[in-house]
Amino acid sequence: MAKKEISIIGAGVVDILVGAVDEKIFSRSSTPVEFIKMSFGGDALNEAIVLSRLGKKVQWINKVGDDDAGKRILNYATENGVDISDVKIETGLATGASVVLIDATGERRFITNKGSSLRKLSEEDILPHVDGMGEIVCLASMFVSPLLDIAATERIFKRIKSKPRILAFDATRAKNGETLKDLAKILSCADCFFPNEAELATLTGETDVYKNISALLDCGLKCAVVKRGGKGCIIATKSAQIEIPACRVEKVVDTTGAGDCFAAGFLYALSEGWQLEECGRFACAAASCSVEEVGAVAGVTSLEKVLRRYHKF
């Protein structure tokens, strides 16, 4: 396998999408619905797929079970050109899967398997692969596996940064009341952090995005990249703050995975050596392709498509 440029660590799952359902499904023995569809998700897997479609040599690091869902995820990643040689296949482990019940308004409810691979990723699954990682590394799924707590993440980040690399991370909403103060040691190791505005407010207890960005930088983070949905993003370092509007789209169809496509776009541009403002514009262009199609990564089909939008910005 060719040398990896970018390594993405974290979640990958199988989703079974079911819709439209109503709250009365348990009062009937059978409910015919318009669609039952299998798809793939998880923020790290989404990011890796998009980066591969943009032409990068990318690897995904995680673990799956030796079950049907695990095989399907690995096939999907391989078919999309993602290097899976450092994905561990664990005997007897259930691979992360969700049944996604979608109501008539598009609102989603998730049913997940508790003890699955999603919640079993640990330091031991990641550390052996650090030496072979690319020059850009992203932990896409902070707060997803309880085994990857802040202390473990700090040890992993320090190992990754023992070589000259760009280290980025993204997080879901903090699950155990973690605060920005708790994250200070990992923020000081990282080059980029990609929270959305609401996740960041949960960490600080403060809603003012500008104060929150200052707090991130005060912790030693080099570059804060805050995603703001239809408002675009703010990129900030100690010496600059850049606000970038979202790319205008014909119609917003499904925003699932927009943040993952944004992060992948940003990492793509960083690996090309672009300036931060260009990275933000390219990230917004990639994310805008995603929101126009159903499914997290369906809209990001090629580098050319994202570049056309980026140049029209």
For residues 175 to 204, the per-residue mask of contacts with ligand ATP, x marking binding by CB under 6 A and - elsewhere, is ---------------------x--------
User: With contacts defined by CB under 6 A, how many residues of the chain interact with ligand ATP?
Assistant: 22
∠177-181-187 over CA atoms, to 5°? 110
Q: Pseudo-torsion of CA 264, 257, 8, 58, nearest 10°?
A: -60
Residue nearest to ligand ATP (CB): 259
Give, as ranges, the residues between 268 and 307 that touch ligand ATP (CB under 6 A).
284, 287-288, 291
Q: Which is nearer to ligand ATP, 65 or 259 (CB)?
A: 259
| Least distance between ligand ATP and beta carbon 180 (Å) | 18
Distance, CA of 173 to CA of 93 (rounded, Å): 25
- β-bridge mates for residue 14, sequence order: 40, 97
Strands 192-193 and 166-171: parallel
Q: Is 256 in the site for ligand ATP (CB under 6 A)?
A: yes
Q: How many CB atoms lie within 10 A of CB 161?
A: 16
d(CA 109, CA 264): 26
Number of H helices, E strands in the chain: 10, 14
Query: Of 151 and 252, which CB lies nearer to ligand ATP in the complex structure?
Result: 252
CB of 309 to ligand ATP, least distance (A): 10
> Using CB under 6 A, which of 85, 179, 255, 302 touches ligand ATP?
255
Q: Residue 49 or 93: which CB sits closer to ligand ATP?
A: 49
Instruction: Pick out residues in 63-92 that bind ligand ATP (CB under 6 A).
Output: none
Is the C-alpha dihedral spanning 16, 20, 21, 23 positive or negative? Answer: positive
To ligand ATP, the closest distance from the beta carbon of 16 in angstroms equals: 19
Query: Exactly one of 65, 259, 295, 299 binds ligand ATP (CB under 6 A); which one?
Result: 259
**138 is a contact residue toward ligand ATP (CB under 6 A):** no
CA distance 222 to 3: 27
117 vs 288, beta carbon nearer ligand ATP? 288
In the complex, minimum distance from the CB of residue 156 to ligand ATP, in angstroms, rounded to a whole number: 22
Among 257, 299, 306, 310, binds ligand ATP (CB under 6 A): 257
Q: Among residues 40, 262, 268, 310, which is the contact residue for ligand ATP, using CB under 6 A?
A: 262
Burial class (CB in 10 A: 0-12, 13-18, 19+), 15: buried
Instruction: Report helix, strand or coil for 96.
Output: coil
Binding mask 215-254 for ligand ATP (x = CB under 6 A): ------------xxxx-xx------------xx-x--x--
Return the number of the residue (70 or 232) whose C-beta is nearest ligand ATP: 232
Contact 5, 31 (CB under 8 A): no
* Cβ proximity of 61 and 87 under 8 Å: yes
d(CA 125, CA 121): 6
Q: Which is nearer to ligand ATP, 93 or 236 (CB)?
A: 236
Task: Quote the CA–CA distance of 291 and 298 in Å, as a whole number.
Answer: 9
Q: Rule CB under 6 A: which residues touch ligand ATP?
A: 196, 227-230, 232-233, 246-247, 249, 252, 255-260, 262, 284, 287-288, 291
